[in-house]
Every structure is written in C-alpha cells, then in structure tokens.
Amino acid sequence: MRTADDPSWLLYPHTILEFHTPTPFAIDLREPLSSQTRDALRINNLDSGFAVITAYNPRGHRHSDVDNSRLTGQFETQVRQRGLRVVRVDGVSPDRTHRESGVAVKVTLEDATDLATHYHQSAFFWFDGDQFWVVPALVHAEPISLPPL
C-alpha cells in the first residue's frame, strides 16, 4: 500500500495521545517529550518499548461507529487473550474533531507490526523508551520520528 492510498497518512505526526490511566495525561506528538510526560510514562510502566494501536478505520478509510466499535472489541479481546496488559489510549486530532480509541501494549516491534497489519492499519505509534515513531504496517514507507523535524 502506498502512502497516497491512505487519506490519513499525513495526519499521523499531528496526533495527540490521551492516556486513560488513574491519573490521565496527554502527549502531543508534535512537541518534544517533557520531563513531566516522561514521569507519567514511567509511573504507568510505559517508559520502555510499547505500541499504540487502534483497530479503527482500516486502511485509513472512515468506517461507521458500529463497525469501529466491533473491530475495537475484537482487537482488545485478542490482545487480552495473549495475556497482555493494555492501557486505553485515544488518538485525537489537535482540534479534537477526530478521535480513535486504541490501546498501549508492551509487545515487540515485530508483534506490534503483526497486530496492526492483522487489523488493516496503515501504521501505529511506537515508543522506543526515548521517543515516539510512526511505524508503517500496511503502508510502504520509512518510520517517522516524532516530533517531526
């Protein structure tokens, strides 16, 4: 799949991640990570490699709320059946008009790619312990470091 085949490809680097933890926090992927954000990740055991993956809008094309809810349920069930701990994370547009529910899950980069590909996702977010990345799954492209330079 080419980047041009996904109408949302160029929007990934402009995402805000809202973490639904006991003390919720948000990360604007357009900005460098602050020490406060790094502390929030550490407190929530997310200070090393993890992926943020959604099942919403496969291949970057809008689907109905019903379809997206069904896909999300299937995805979260599959992840939990693997015995993985998940943290709910919403990816939202800067103006908050678009929201996709997803999860943060501690898996290998390869497993994250497999999960995202299985749910027909163009890409997913990866935190390597230092910075976030947009990592292609279906799309043939290079990973994008965040924030964009």
Task: Give pLDDT tens digits for 14-68.
Answer: 999 999 999 999 999 999 999 999 999 999 999 899 999 998 777 777 788 888 8
Q: Which residue's entry shows tokens 């529910």?
A: 101
Assess contact for 126 and 133: CB atoms under 8 A.
Answer: yes
Q: What is the pLDDT of residue 76?
A: 87
For residue 139, give every residue at least 6 positions away whose Cβ sits within 8 Å of its Cβ, in sequence order, or none.
1, 2, 3, 5, 6, 9, 122, 123
Least confident of 77-81, 91-95, 133-137, 142-146: 77-81
State mean pLDDT over 123-140. 94
Domain span at residue 9 reads: 3-146
The closest alpha carbon to 116, from 96, 134, 133, 138, belongs to 138
Would you say the pTM of this structure is higher than 0.75?
yes
Higher pLDDT, 125 or 98: 125
Higher pLDDT, 96 or 68: 96
Q: How many domains does the chain have?
A: 1
Higher pLDDT, 103 or 2: 103
Q: Give tens-digit pLDDT for 104-123.
A: 999 999 999 999 999 889 99
